[in-house]
């Protein structure tokens, strides 16, 4: 046992019977899973947009927070406390993000007579300001990077990193390398920080172009015991937000004595503020093993599963027990094996990480051994906030799931995770799945060479390229066409038992058109004659079986034919084909297009639903390729919409504050003579 409790839950602690989670999605489901294992009741809160979300249906009780945006709902502490009292909860777990590091919310929870499943209010206050916390850590003997006042930054300080004082997760972060960009980037960071955390305060620090992001999980009780529960490496990041995390750290494994120094610094940090509960002390390290304090997150981290998998600890259970007064054992369990977590996002890495919104038609990760649970043998764990039919909206983070592997060695953990992602069926939205698989299989990653500049060093365009080759994609689209033909014949009133396009004598091919996001239009021509199918451009290809959702093809090769199995899913015009060759998603096109559907050259289309927050140019002005025309806010981040070519801004179809849908024409740039747009290249 790692903890001990008396009948009164130890140390004068309070008995917890029902827990409200002041959060949504995956983390709410994660906390509920532990509560169920402990026999505790659960209460969910939800916005109008989340009414049908899995975390709502899984809870014993659920309370509506009217509205959609975080400011209307999950950031309204007074409404959440009212919900807890109304539903009979006696404790509040904040999850991560939203109000999890808000000292005023923690105070209000305690004042309402509820148990706060988190650290003392004073600790949240001390660590809540990144500026003040660095000064405190410096005084405690923890190595730090000097904090810079934005008003005093000079060219000699560049490059600098602008950070939000009240939060993390990449929100409000900007790298500035040019003095002329500083003022605009500080203002943008302030807007983003205010939107995400309700506090626009930002600060600057020296930016290390390459480094390793290392963090230590701490757990402390109210009786003086502080655990350093292993370290994690989170260096693979986009926009300063973690994408892949692992435990233990390859760097720490390599540098003699680094783990002991890290753990001592983490315990010093926790002890300096009288910390209790779960927290994470984050450091930036160099290849020599020197490290500097970044911040302390006074909550559970998104990446906590890799620590659970390598220690056997249920960190949420420990949070609940410590909040009830439990006493930790003298030492935490040792780490064993290796665990890697990836964050599966609805986003398009190849197009500036554009977040996606819409319906998740189908999601299936093969070989999942546990959902929200501990792995005690090599395998894959899934922590997800979505199920088939879930809608990803514009108001919240677009993370679909965390997929976690555990194995005895790092190489096996990477192989298990890459294979599970490669074979996953994810239908409905563009995701970063291909990027994740390519990173997990990259020689540099497998060698443990994983600094924060990984995407820049190895080329985001290469890493985000489709997993499937062009020839294999074409074969998958043939399968889509033949499955579509089978579906047509199944619903036909006459001759439904015959294959689509069947002729007793040779005739012209039947054609189906599909559009791929990466390779353009595919015109698939095929003919059925006396039970044999022939596909234009695929000599020797043999159709073994075709149903609306499954196609088997015998593909000719130098050493004979190889059978390939394709699973096909159709959702309106979208067709998703899955096979061991790789995932393919295409859009079925009509044979003849309507001229009214054509978009004018130079049109700037909304890449996602969002709100227009700023305009950058006036109608009639000359603009250069890449020049910002307007800014959208979606999913708590700002997104720049830039000119596709040099020319004249001939139209702006939106105003500040206007909500727009994906695909809406926001503005039009008439290209200068002799230029071509990004879309025409």
Per-residue pLDDT tens for 289-338? Answer: 999 999 999 999 999 999 999 999 999 999 999 999 999 999 999 999 99
pLDDT for residue 7 = 33
What's the distance, Cα to Cα, between the start and end of the chain in Å? 63
**Length of the chain, in residues:** 681
Residue entry with tokens 């405190």:
136
Task: For tokens 């592997």, name the residue.
Answer: 405
Instruction: Quick: pLDDT tens for 178-188.
Output: 888 888 898 88
Distance CA 433, CA 412 (A): 19
Phi first, then psi: give them for residue 440, nearest 5 degrees.
-60, -25
- Residue 615 is predicted with a pLDDT of 93
Those residues with Cβ within 8 angstroms of residue 184's Cβ, 6 or more apart along the chain or in another chain: none
Q: Residue 128 has which token pair?
A: 């809540």
**How confident is the model at residue 11, as a pLDDT?**
36
pLDDT value, residue 678: 43
What's the mean pLDDT in 511-522?
A: 94
The pLDDT, as a whole number, for residue 141 is 92
- Name the fold adopted by 17-116: Rossmann fold (3.40.50)
Closest among 288, 286, 247 to 453, alpha carbons compared: 286
The answer to whether 34 touches 314, Cβ cutoff 8 Å, is yes
pLDDT band per the 50, 70, 90 thresholds, residue 593 = low
**Sign for the pseudo-dihedral over CA of 302, 339, 296, 321:** positive
More confident residue, 134 or 680: 134
H/E stretch holding 388 reads: none
Given a cut of 70, is residue 577 above it in pLDDT?
yes
The architecture of the domain spanning 470-589 is 2-Layer Sandwich (3.30)
- Looking at the chain, the whole-number percentage of residues with pLDDT higher than 90 is 71
Establish whether domains 141-206 and 595-671 are of one fold. no
- Are 298 and 279 within 8 A, CB to CB? yes
What are 84-106's pLDDT values in tens digits? 999 999 999 999 999 999 999 99
Which of 106-115, 199-208, 409-418 is predicted least confidently?
Answer: 199-208
Residue 260 burial (10 A CB sphere; 0-12, 13-18, 19+): exposed
Taking Cα atoms as reference points, which of 371, 381, 463 lies closest to residue 417? 381
Extended strands (E) in 372-470:
379-384, 391-392, 399-407, 425-427
- What is the H or E stretch that residue 20 is in? strand 18-21
H-type helices in 174-291, by residue range? 182-197, 250-254, 258-272
Band (163; pLDDT cuts 50, 70, 90):
confident
Correct CATH for 212-463 of 3.40.1080.20, 3.50.50.60, 3.10.105.10, 3.30.470.20: 3.30.470.20
Give CA–CA dist 127/168, Å, rounded.
Answer: 12
User: Is the separation of the CB atoms in 630 and 667 below 8 Å?
Assistant: yes
Q: Cα–Cα distance between 22 and 213 in angstroms, integer?
A: 28
pLDDT, one tens digit per residue, over 36-77 is 999 999 999 999 999 999 999 999 999 999 999 999 999 999
447-478 burial code (b ≥16 CB/10 A, e <16): ebbbbbebbeebebeebbbbbbeeebbbbbbb
Per-residue pLDDT of 610-653, as tens digits, reads 889 999 999 999 999 989 999 988 766 788 899 988 999 999 99
Buried residues in 351-363 as b, exposed as e (16+ CB within 10 A)? eebbbbbbbbbbb
Q: Tell me the domain boundaries of the chain.
A: 17-116, 141-206, 212-463, 470-589, 595-671
* 502-503/659-660 β-pairing: unpaired
CA distance 39 to 597: 57
CA 253 to chain centre: 27
Residue 427 CB neighbour total at 10 angstroms: 21
Please report which helix (H) or strand (E) contains residue 437, including its range. helix 433-440
Q: Is it the case that residue 412 has pLDDT exceeding 60?
A: yes
- Would the pLDDT of 681 be above 60? no
Query: Residue 675 pLDDT > 60, yes or no?
Result: no
pLDDT score of 8: 28
At the second CATH level, the architecture of 595-671 is Beta Barrel (2.40)
Q: What is the pLDDT at residue 579?
A: 97
Summarised one tens digit per residue, pLDDT across range 214-244 is 999 999 999 999 999 999 999 999 988 999 9
Q: Which long-range contacts (CB under 8 A, 24 or more apart) does 589-596 make?
A: 589/513, 589/514, 589/515, 589/521, 590/513, 591/511, 591/513
Q: Give the architecture-level CATH label for domain 141-206.
A: 2-Layer Sandwich (3.30)
Q: Inform me whether the pLDDT recorded for 1 exceeds 70.
A: no
Does position 27 have pLDDT exceeding 60, yes or no?
yes
Average pLDDT, the chain: 90
Cis peptide before 248 (omega within 30 of 0): yes
Instruction: Quote the pLDDT of residue 148.
Output: 77
Question: What average pLDDT does the segment 492-497 reach?
Answer: 52
Say which residue, 421 or 14, is predicted with more confidence: 421
Q: Which residue has the tokens 């003086």?
A: 224
Instruction: Compute the average pLDDT of residues 448-471.
Output: 95
- Top mean-pLDDT range of 497-501, 507-511, 566-570: 566-570
Residue 679's pLDDT band (boundaries 50, 70, 90)? very low
Alpha helices in 491-529 (DSSP H): none
Q: What are phi and psi of 156, to 5 degrees?
A: -65, -25
Tokens representing 142? Answer: 């923890």
Q: Which residue has the higher pLDDT, 594 or 198?
A: 198
pLDDT tens profile 242-297: 999 999 999 999 999 999 999 999 999 999 999 999 999 999 999 999 999 999 99
Predicted confidence at residue 318, as pLDDT, reads 98
Confidence of residue 531 (pLDDT cuts 50, 70, 90): low
Asked if pLDDT for residue 12 goes beyond 80, the answer is no
How do the residues of the chain divide into helix, strand and coil, expressed in percent and rounded to 5? 25, 30, 40
pLDDT digit string (tens) for 120-147? 999 999 998 877 888 899 999 999 987 7
- Is the confidence at residue 605, as pLDDT, over 50? yes
Instruction: Please report which confidence band the pLDDT of residue 5 belongs to, taking 50, 70 and 90 as the band edges.
Output: very low
Query: Residue 369 contacts by C-beta under 8 Å, 6 or more apart in sequence?
Result: 375, 377, 379, 380, 381
pLDDT band at 528 (very low <50, low <70, confident <90, very high): confident
Question: Residue 150 gets which letter from DSSP?
Answer: G
Predicted confidence at residue 563, as pLDDT, reads: 96
């Amino acid at each position: 046992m790692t903890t001990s409790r008396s009948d009164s839950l130890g140390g004068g602690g309070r008995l917890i019977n029902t827990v409200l989670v002041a959060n949504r999605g995956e983390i709410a489901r994660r906390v509920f899973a532990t509560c169920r294992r402990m026999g505790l009741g659960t209460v969910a809160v939800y916005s109008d947009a989340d009414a049908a979300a899995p975390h709502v249906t899984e809870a014993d009780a659920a309370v509506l927070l009217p509205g959609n945006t975080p400011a209307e709902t999950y950031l309204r502490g007074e409404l959440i406390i009212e919900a807890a009292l109304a539903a009979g909860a006696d404790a509040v777990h904040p999850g991560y993000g939203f109000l999890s590091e808000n000292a005023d919310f923690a105070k209000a929870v305690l004042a309402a007579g509820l148990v706060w499943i988190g650290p003392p209010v004073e600790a949240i206050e001390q660590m809540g300001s990144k500026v003040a916390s660095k000064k405190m850590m410096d005084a405690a003997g923890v190595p730090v990077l000097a904090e810079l006042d934005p008003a005093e930054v000079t060219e000699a300080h560049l490059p600098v990193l602008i950070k939000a004082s009240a939060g993390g997760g990449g929100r409000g972060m900007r790298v500035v390398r040019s003095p002329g960009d500083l003022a605009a980037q500080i203002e943008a960071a302030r807007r983003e920080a205010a939107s995400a955390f309700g506090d626009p305060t930002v600060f600057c620090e020296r930016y290390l172009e390459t480094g390793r992001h290392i963090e230590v999980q701490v757990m402390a009780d109210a009786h003086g015991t502080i655990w350093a529960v292993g370290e994690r490496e989170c260096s693979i990041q986009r926009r300063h937000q973690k994408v892949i995390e692992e435990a233990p750290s390859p760097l720490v494994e390599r540098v003699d004595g680094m783990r002991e120094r890290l753990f001592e610094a983490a315990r010093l940090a926790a002890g300096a503020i009288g910390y209790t509960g779960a927290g994470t002390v984050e450091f930036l390290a160099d290849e020599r093993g020197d490290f500097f304090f970044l911040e302390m997150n006074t909550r559970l981290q998104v990446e906590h599963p890799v620590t659970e998998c390598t220690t056997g600890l249920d960190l949420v259970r420990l949070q609940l027990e410590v909040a009830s007064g439990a006493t930790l054992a003298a030492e935490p369990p040792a780490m064993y094996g290796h665990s890697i977590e990836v964050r599966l996002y609805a986003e398009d890495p190849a197009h500036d990480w554009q977040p996606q919104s819409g319906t998740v038609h189908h999601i299936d990760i093969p070989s999942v051994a546990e959902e929200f649970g501990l792995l005690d043998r090599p395998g894959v764990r899934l922590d997800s906030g979505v199920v088939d039919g879930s809608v990803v909206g514009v108001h919240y983070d677009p993370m679909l799931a965390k997929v976690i592997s555990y194995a005895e060695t790092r190489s096996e953990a990477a192989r298990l995770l890459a294979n599970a992602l490669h074979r996953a069926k994810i239908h409905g939205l563009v995701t970063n799945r291909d990027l994740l698989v390519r990173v997990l299989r990259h020689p540099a990653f497998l060698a443990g060479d994983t600094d924060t500049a990984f995407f820049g060093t190895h080329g985001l365009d290469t890493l985000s390229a489709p997993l499937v080759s062009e020839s294999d994609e074409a074969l998958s689209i043939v399968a889509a066409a033949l499955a579509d033909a089978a579906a047509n014949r199944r619903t036909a009133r006459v001759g439904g038992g015959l294959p689509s396009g069947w002729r007793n004598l040779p005739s012209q091919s039947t054609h189906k058109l599909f559009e791929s996001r990466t390779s353009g239009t595919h015109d698939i021509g095929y003919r059925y004659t006396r039970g044999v199918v022939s596909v234009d451009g695929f000599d020797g290809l043999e159709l073994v079986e075709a149903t609306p959702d499954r196609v088997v093809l015998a593909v000719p090769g130098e050493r004979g034919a190889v059978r390939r199995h394709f699973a096909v899913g159709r959702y309106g015009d979208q067709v998703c084909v899955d096979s061991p060759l790789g995932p393919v998603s295409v859009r079925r096109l009509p044979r003849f297009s309507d001229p009214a559907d054509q978009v004018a050259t130079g049109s700037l289309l909304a890449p996602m639903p969002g709100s227009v927050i700023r305009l950058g140019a006036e109608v009639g002005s000359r603009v250069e390729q890449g020049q910002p025309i307007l800014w959208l806010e979606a999913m708590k981040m700002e997104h720049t919409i830039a000119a596709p070519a040099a020319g004249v801004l001939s139209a702006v179809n939106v105003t500040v504050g206007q909500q727009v849908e994906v695909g809406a024409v926001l503005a039009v740039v008439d290209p200068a003579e002799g230029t071509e747009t990004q879309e025409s290249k």
